[in-house]
Amino acid sequence: MRRGRLAAAILALTAAALITLPARAQEDEDIRLKVTDVPIEGNEAFSDGRLHDLMINHPSGFWFLGRNWYEPDELEDDLEAIEMYHRLEGYMWARVVRHEVLPDTSERKVRIRIQLAEGPRTSVQEVDIMGNTAFSDSLLREEYITMEAGQPYRQALIRESQLALLNLYADHGYLEAVVDPTVRVDSARHLAMVDFLVTEGPQFIIDEIRIEGLQKTEPFVVRRELSFESGEIVNYSELAKSQRRLYQTTLFNSAFIRPVPAADGDPNHKDIVVDLREVRSIQLEVAAGYGTEDRVRGRTEVQHRNLFGTGRRVGLEAKASFIERSGQAYYVQPWTFGIPWESNLIASLEYREEPGFDIYRQTGKYIFSRKFTRHSSLALTYRLERADLRYVTVADFPSDLENNISSLNLAGIWDTRDDLFNATRGVYLQVSAEYAGGFLGGTTDFVRPIGGYKYYRTLRRGTVVATAGQVGWVDYFGSSDDVPLSERFFLGGANDLRGFGYRLVGPLDVAGTPVGGNFLISTNLAEIRQHVWSMFGVVGFVDVGAIWPRVADVRLRDLRIGAGPGLRANTPIGIVRLDWGVNVGPRDGEDPWQIYFSIGQAF
């Protein structure tokens, strides 16, 4: 009865989210018309779909993408956008020769017919560069100008080439360089002559570097993040890079680096001003949340971000939920031995209730890491841990177990996501390999390589397609005769394979308690996230995965599938998530579906 009521509530919420519209829309629905079709005639260069993307009055998509209402006041702008797009792509005489609006008030819909005359496409006859002395014509043509004779004329390539030339000059000290493109068109032959007139100006040298705005931070903390020095030619890209690195220290609310006239009045020199605003050194953060598996949870963290003005960080963190209590202390040294490798020392205590056992962990970690570029990083972690398993109910295991783990883990990350918590585009790749025991000591020996990915892509009209996956293998060696329960793979639940109970995918003992496995395949095969209205959205997802005791046991027919719909609300505290996962092909004793409520996206 309880699950039935919950299912009814979920259905009601889903229906409400799908049909919720502003009150104004409901009142005006009888006079508003849905755009159902916009056929375009005469377009050979670009598809209807590409031209529709330029329009406010484009055709409505599938029902779950929402309706697109006819906006008569925007129609002229739509037609001008089509013409302008063609002209920018070289069809300089393109025009809309006729359009017709065909309303059907009885069906509350409208068709818009457009007839287009593209005309001939203009080609580039020649590209000339004038005024350049610092760089040769051949270098500029081959490396920086993206258009050449014989190509179709495109305005975007002119702008792209202009910016490339300006960046080149700015990176070599010519901060006042001007690149002025001009276009001459032979309308009879449909040819364009493009000239880039360069006014180089003086080349500037860095004179003095002035750091302003510091109150607590030592100047050396700032200087070590700068990738330029006095006496060098001003390089605009290095200024931007250094500004980005200062932000990444998390020591400053704002960081601006700009060249200014030299204090000594030398017209060929620039002083570089580093203008900073520091954050508060001591920060207290308190957070609370709720999840189906751990129910009410809370976290408190106090941190000193700038110990003695050196950029070092120290902090204490405590977490608690219905199934977990933990605390940790940490110390972070941003630069180690004068090189930009971060050292992180962590000491933690943890108690957690898992299906089949309770675990008490006492852990010490040393993490040695570096961020090489904006997207790539590498980390080497040493872990020394005592793991006590109590009240073990997994068959063929003693009621109490103790493992002492000494391991090294090497992990590489590539991350281009636009947002860590609600990504709409980008890729996240991670590969790691852990070696425990052997020459490192401890009571258990195992190796564990893992690879994973996440991918996000935004489609038109607020639709995001996301997918994620992980493959992992763990195996024992040496004097060990098995992989410890606490180091095995488990699967099932709100964040990996929805439609199944927490950790209930994979090997189970005779009582139905999860045993875990040594080989994992898990993928959030596809999740479509669609914004509906205001803060609300809906999703549809398909998850696939399985766990096997050994690699030799892997059979694709063992893969389990979960699928279903979900609701999202983008609130000030984060993404509130409600998913209904259906077990596709439930086996004996398995629930046909599961409900998950949490804060944050599934991945």
Q: What is the CATH number of the domain that holds 233?
A: 3.10.20.310
Question: pLDDT tens for residues 435-449?
Answer: 999 999 999 999 999
Residues 6+ apart with CB under 8 A from 144: 161, 164, 165, 168
Evaluate if residue 26 carries a pLDDT over 70: no
Evaluate if residue 365 carries a pLDDT over 90: yes
Q: Same domain for 41 and 106? A: yes
Evaluate if residue 370 carries a pLDDT over 70: yes
Q: State the chain's mean pLDDT as an integer.
A: 92
| Mean pLDDT on 182-199 | 95
Question: pLDDT tens for residues 124-163?
Answer: 999 999 999 999 999 999 999 999 999 999 999 999 999 9
pLDDT at 118: 94
Evaluate if residue 51 carries a pLDDT over 90: yes
Within a domain: 360:
no
- Domain closes at, from 70, 96, 117: 117
Q: Same domain for 41 and 105? A: yes
Among candidate residues 225, 252, 222, 248, the one with its CA nearest the CA of residue 238:
225
Evaluate if residue 10 carries a pLDDT over 70: no
Within a domain: 144:
yes
Please check whether residue 398 is in contact with residue 406, taking contact to mean a CB–CB distance below 8 angstroms.
Answer: no
Q: Label residue 16 by pLDDT band (50, 70, 90).
A: very low
Residues 6+ apart with CB under 8 A from 543: 496, 497, 498, 499, 522, 523, 524, 525, 561, 562, 563, 581
State both tokens at 60: 């409505």
Angle at 116 between CA 113 and CA 118, to 5 degrees: 160
3-class SS string, 73-84 = HHHHHHHHHHHH
Judged by average pLDDT, the poorest of 58-62, 71-75, 323-327 is 58-62
- Give pTM, 2 decimals: 0.81
- Of residues 519 and 374, the one with the higher pLDDT is 519
- Domain closes at, from 101, 117, 133: 117
Question: pLDDT tens for residues 484-535?
Answer: 999 999 999 999 999 999 999 999 999 999 999 999 999 999 999 999 988 9
pLDDT at 65: 52
Within a domain: 566:
no
| Residue ranges in 172-235 assigned as alpha helix (H) | 219-223
Please report, rounded to a whole number, the percentage of residues in the chain having pLDDT higher than 90: 85
| Mean pLDDT on 251-257 | 97
Q: Same domain for 162 and 234? A: no
Residues 6+ apart with CB under 8 A from 38: 48, 52, 55, 57, 58, 59, 111, 112, 113, 114
Within a domain: 69:
yes
- Domain closes at, from 262, 278, 294: 278
| Mean pLDDT on 533-554 | 95
At residue 571, what is the residue type? T
Q: What is the C-alpha to C-alpha distance for residues 18 and 62, in angstroms, rounded to an integer?
A: 13
Evaluate if residue 420 carries a pLDDT over 70: yes
CA distances in angstroms from 570 to 451, 532, 576, listed in the order given: 30, 11, 6
| Mean pLDDT on 283-295 | 90
Q: What is the C-alpha to C-alpha distance for residues 458 and 528, in angstroms, rounded to an integer?
A: 10
Q: Same domain for 111 and 132? A: no
Please report, rounded to a whole number, the percentage of residues in the chain having pLDDT higher than 70: 94
Evaluate if residue 8 carries a pLDDT over 70: no
Among candidate residues 329, 409, 433, 413, the one with its CA nearest the CA of residue 370:
413
Evaluate if residue 374 carries a pLDDT over 80: yes
Evaluate if residue 254 carries a pLDDT over 90: yes
Q: What is the C-alpha to C-alpha distance for residues 51 and 40, in angstroms, rounded to an integer?
A: 9
Q: Same domain for 227 and 251? A: yes
| Mean pLDDT on 167-195 | 96
Evaluate if residue 17 carries a pLDDT over 50: no
- Of residues 202 and 105, the one with the higher pLDDT is 202
Q: Same domain for 180 and 129? A: yes
The residue range of the domain holding 209 is 205-278
Within a domain: 154:
yes
Q: Same domain for 262 and 246? A: yes
